[in-house]
Amino acid sequence: MSVTENRRDPEAASAASRPVARGWRIAIALLLVLGLIRALTLWAHQPLYAYANSYDQVRYTACFDLYPDRPADVPPTQNSPQAPYAQYRFIATDDPMCYWSSELLFQGATAGLYALAEAFGGGPLHSVRVIGLLRLAAWAALAIALTIGFLRRGRPGAALIHAVIVAVVLADPGNTLYLNTFYAEWTALLAAWALFGLLVLWRHQVRSRWRFIVLALLAFALAASKIQHLLLPLALAVVLVVADRLRLRGTSWRSAAILIGALAGLWMQFIQLQRPGQMVDSIRQYNQAHVVFTAFLPMASDRVALLDELGLDRSCEAFTGLRAWQLPDMPDRACPGLSGFTRGTELVTLLRHPDLAARVVWGGVRALDPWLARNIGHIEGAEFALIPPPTPSLGHALHAVPPLQAAVLALPLIVLLVLVARHGLRRDAPLRDHAALTVVLMVVTLVITVLGDGLADVAKQGHLLVNAALAFAIIAIGAAAGAWIERRRAPP
């Protein structure tokens, strides 16, 4: 595979030499400050605003023997979807569960700070807001770094659009509810945000060793964040490679870097899925149950016939619509025959029944609403309480106006089709390429979520999908506004 060098665009070099007007800088700074205030307000809220533990958090904190502070008769690894906990403590257990993830960088640093505090005489209780603060610091650093990068290259328009995305989307409770948690969604968000941002920023930059390494590490971090994202960076890399072959007849250094990082992350997740033990077995059983009971059976035209085809006991029909944790026993014991339901069986069934496949996919799209997940509590000390509507969130607007959500989700594909029809595939068109990457991210995230976990938790598992669609909507509006301004300035 030959790797071509991207030469610096002369127009971009000329733009970088021009100073950015003071008004642009002020507007951008105000937007970044607004975003930081929104995020800080939710991080510091009393009582704690965060997503409760739906069991996923335990798979990470078990790596450090770190669990919520609860009465001694509550098993440390037990989930608590009713409400988040603000205090955590170290509790030694015999549970071997430890999920490998790039998210462990944040959690390892947090556990280290907790241990250091105890070593210097601190008590056994530790605030979950510590990891929230670390995440917020990384969030702010990335926002500032990308903004400065755009400004230094004389691209105030791109910097302004990025600042709007930061203030409106990335600082939304749909994201910041993950700050004071031990979920991996925040790490996945940062990796995807940085990856997309740097692809735009370095579009016409020559290769350097550190740029190559950074893109490869980001692709690895995204693939390694969650099982649901194991194929996502690879799909993005394929889009870039195809685009390079069409226009450059080679492969750019950006594509090569992301491809290498994506393959490394995929390999790590593949190894993880082969690990023996209770953790991987329970994940497999829960996923099998979710696909069958939340996706296949609710969407089947004849449930009994489908159960017979899958080799499952007909008594399993009683679990239609239930999540795995709602079953009376472990899934393979509650539903005889479920252990024989494999990924191969799932794919063959969907190929045999395209009508079922279509209904399942459409059900996944509908299950993206609401963006603010409602199957777990948001408020400390409450019982499945959600943050109140007065708290500003795009999630409230999307849920209240379904056509708006449909338009936001459909926009990247519409723009992609329009720009391909207008410019073709060989012409250099940044917005078209961004639309293609966004569409691929959305499609791959949705398909992997639905095929991997049914419709059990699409709003949470599809977290990146909604972010990508909202961010692209702002980018498309900014591009349209910029084109209109250019036409107005053009001489008659």
Tell me the domain boundaries of the chain.
Answer: 56-127, 278-366
- What whole-number distance in Å separates Cα of residue 323 and Cα of residue 446? 19
Question: Which has the higher per-residue pLDDT, 12 or 53?
Answer: 53
Tokens for 413, please give them: 């594909």
Tally of helices (H runs) and strands (E runs) in the chain: 22, 5
Least Cα distance to 40 among 124, 110, 143 occurs for 143
Let me know how long the chain is: 492
Cα distances from 256 to residues 238, 241, 242, 251, 426, in angstroms, run 10, 8, 12, 7, 19
Residue whose tokens read 């009683």: 318
Q: What is the pLDDT of residue 82?
A: 92
For the ranges 359-368, 412-421, 454-463, the lowest mean pLDDT is seen at 454-463
Q: What is the mean pLDDT of residues 291-313?
A: 93
For the ranges 52-61, 110-119, 256-265, 481-490, the lowest mean pLDDT is seen at 481-490
* Positions of E strands within 171-270: 251-252
pLDDT bin (cut points 50, 70, 90) of residue 266 is very high
pLDDT in tens, 174-205: 999 999 999 999 999 999 999 999 999 998 88
pLDDT bin (cut points 50, 70, 90) of residue 10 is very low
Q: What is the pLDDT of residue 17?
A: 52
Give the range with max mean pLDDT: 321-335, 416-430, 467-481.
467-481
Q: What is the mean pLDDT of residues 22-32?
A: 92
Q: What is the pLDDT of residue 16?
A: 53
Q: What is the pLDDT of residue 23?
A: 84
Question: Which has the higher per-residue pLDDT, 307 or 95?
Answer: 307
Least Cα distance to 191 among 258, 244, 99 occurs for 258
What is the DSSP secondary structure assignment for residue 379, as one 8-state letter? B
Tokens for 9, please give them: 């665009």
Contact 29, 156 (CB under 8 A): no
Question: Which amino acid type is present at position 250?
Answer: G
Q: Is the pLDDT of residue 332 over 60?
A: yes
Q: What is the mean pLDDT of residues 18-24?
A: 75
Long-range contacts formed by 269-274: CB under 8 A, 24+ apart: 269/223, 269/224, 269/227, 269/230, 270/230, 272/99, 272/100, 272/227, 273/227
pLDDT above 70 coverage of the chain, percent: 95
pLDDT in tens, 408-439: 999 999 999 999 998 777 777 889 999 999 99
- What whole-number distance in Å separates Cα of residue 299 and Cα of residue 348? 16
- What whole-number distance in Å separates Cα of residue 279 and Cα of residue 430? 43
pLDDT above 90 coverage of the chain, percent: 66
pTM for this entry: 0.91
pLDDT bin (cut points 50, 70, 90) of residue 281 is confident
Q: What is the pLDDT of residue 193?
A: 97
